[in-house]
Structures are given as C-alpha cells and as structure tokens.
C-alpha cells in the first residue's frame, strides 16, 4: 500500500522547538487522516533536525471508505398535508438531497434521508490535510517574513510531500510542495530529488545530514569521549540541546589560555556549557 512522506524544510529552528514540532506535525497529520477514516500504519517515529521536520506513514489507504450520511428533514406534520401528500417543505428538502419524497424515512417525529457517500481519493484529501497540519503547528515564539502573514518559528524554505511516489500538490506561504530536499547547509547545500522515505534518509546521509536525533546523540556521546583528553562532563540537558543544534555533529577538542583556569571550576563549567 502507498506511503506518505512529508519533509518541512526551514531556517534553523530553536533547539528547544524541534522535537515538539516534528511530534506535533505527525500528530496533526494522523489526526486528520483518522478524521477522514483513512487507515495507515506508523512504520517510523517522526524525526527532525534544526532545518527539517520529517513525517512518514506506511500502508496508507488509497481512498476513503464508502460511508452513509443521515440528514434530518422537516417535522412529519410539516412534511405531509392532510391527505398524506408531500408538502412543499418536503419537496424542497428532497430536491436538496437529490432523492424522491418516497425514499424518506419517518421516525422520531421527522423525515430522514440516508445517502451513501463515495470516499475521496487519499491523494486528493492530502492536498488539504498537509498544509493545514503545517499551519496548525504552535511555537512559543513566532515570526513573519517577507510580505506574508503566516506566523511560524522560522521561515519555511522547502516542502517535500509525496504519496505513493507522486507529489502531493499544495502551497504554504508561497512555497510549493515538490520532491526536492536539501543537504547540509555548508557541506552539501544543493537541492536533490527523492520520492520515498528510504531514499530521503539515504541521500541525506550522503550529504552530511543525520536526520535521526537518536543517532546524533549517540555520535555526540561516543565520539566526544574518544577525542577528549579527559573525561567529558555530560548533562542530559546539554547533550539534548546539542542534538537539536546540529545536523551533522562532529566533536572536537579545543583549547584556551591556561590562565582562564584560575576561575572557580563551577564558573568554567557553567560558562562553557552555556556558550
């Protein structure tokens, strides 16, 4: 069954906003699909970096299921005259529903019409669902850019959106969706084309972007311990901040004038962690 891929690319988000943003984006998409009765499977958890939020769903139904819709019409006393013939009110209601007056049900003091509703193609639904999911993201601080009116944490620069390998067409704040993503801002800034989740992850790694926060954390903890002359002092908060500050963490050991070591150790640790 088809897969859905969404990558929202933007200027560097604040480190504290990244995880909540990609988690909320996934939740928004899933909630809309469930509301439309479109089934899917969450094959992977959402992931992201300061420059991209990535959502993936597998086994997405290609169409909505057929459903039934009940509509209530006028009260029985207003729907029929004394001889039992349809009134003008009933005839008008039936015209609006596209049925004959003989097809209505009578219950609970009213007339009712039950119609079958043909499901819409999921690809069509997604052109409405995805932009609303993006616009529905909330941040502690937002901004506007250019001449637009939309508020977001940082300017949106690209949108990769595909369903079953084809583009889901829509636009958010002048940015049209497509099949283009981008690599690391400095190592590989050129755009490239992909249509599937696995291809996106493969191509990002080739371009020095590790999209998985868990892998970035692993690199920070393991490689920093290798390159450091001493034993790194990691706090979870400090590591977490650095996980969401970079797309390609590369621990290095720096140095500074030994005279600065005359400061109290807690002041040194605090200053280096903060800056």
pTM: 0.86
Summarised one tens digit per residue, pLDDT across range 229-247 is 998 888 999 999 999 999 9
Summarised one tens digit per residue, pLDDT across range 56-91 is 999 999 999 988 888 999 998 888 988 888 999 988
Query: d(Cα 246, Cα 216) in Å, to the nearest integer?
Result: 8
DSSP letters, 228-249, are: -SS-----HHHHHHHHTT-SS-
Question: Which SS3 state, helix, strand or coil, does residue 41 take?
Answer: strand
Cα–Cα distances in angstroms (integers) from residue 51 to residues 141, 157, 194, 197, 253, in the given order: 17, 9, 17, 17, 26
Question: Which SS3 state, helix, strand or coil, does residue 69 take?
Answer: strand
The first and second tokens of residue 16, run together, are 């504290």
Rounded mean pLDDT of 202-226?
Answer: 97
Query: d(Cα 261, Cα 244) in Å, to the nearest integer?
Result: 29
pLDDT on residue 81: 87
Query: d(Cα 154, Cα 156) in Å, to the nearest integer?
Result: 6
Summarised one tens digit per residue, pLDDT across range 152-182 is 999 999 999 999 999 999 999 999 999 999 9
Report CA Rg, the chain: 27
Classify 98 in phi/psi space as left (phi over 0), alpha (psi -120 to 50) or beta. left
Identify how many contiguous H helices and E strands the chain contains and give both numbers: 8, 12
Query: d(Cα 12, Cα 87) in Å, to the nearest integer?
Result: 64
Query: d(Cα 223, Cα 210) in Å, to the nearest integer?
Result: 15
How long, in residues, is the chain?
275
Cα–Cα distances in angstroms (integers) from residue 9 to residues 63, 75, 134, 242, in the given order: 28, 54, 11, 19
């Amino acid at each position: 069954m088809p897969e859905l891929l969404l990558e929202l690319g933007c200027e560097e988000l604040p480190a504290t906003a990244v995880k909540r943003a990609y988690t909320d984006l996934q939740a928004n998409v899933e909630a809309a699909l469930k509301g439309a009765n479109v089934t899917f499977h969450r094959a992977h958890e959402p992931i992201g970096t300061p420059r991209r939020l990535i959502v993936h769903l597998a086994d997405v139904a290609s169409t909505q299921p057929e459903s039934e819709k009940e509509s209530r019409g006028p009260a029985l006393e207003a729907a029929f005259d004394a001889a039992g013939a349809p009134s003008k009110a009933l005839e008008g209601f039936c015209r609006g529903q596209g049925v004959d007056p003989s097809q209505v049900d009578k219950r609970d003091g009213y007339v009712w019409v039950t119609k079958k509703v043909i499901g819409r193609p999921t690809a069509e639904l997604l052109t409405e669902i995805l932009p609303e999911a993006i616009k529905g993201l909330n941040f502690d601080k937002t901004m506007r850019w250019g001449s637009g009116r939309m508020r977001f944490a940082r300017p949106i620069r690209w949108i990769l959106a595909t369903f079953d390998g084809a583009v889901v067409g829509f636009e958010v704040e002048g940015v049209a969706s497509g099949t283009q993503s981008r690599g690391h801002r400095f190592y590989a800034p050129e755009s490239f084309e992909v249509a599937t989740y696995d291809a996106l992850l493969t191509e990002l790694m080739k371009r020095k972007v590790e999209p998985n926060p868990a892998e970035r954390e692993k690199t920070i903890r393991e490689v920093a311990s290798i390159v450091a002359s001493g034993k790194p002092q990691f706090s979870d908060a400090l590591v977490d901040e650095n996980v969401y500050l970079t797309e390609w963490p590369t621990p290095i050991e720096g140095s500074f004038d030994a005279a600065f070591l005359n400061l109290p150790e807690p002041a040194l640790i605090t200053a280096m962690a903060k800056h």
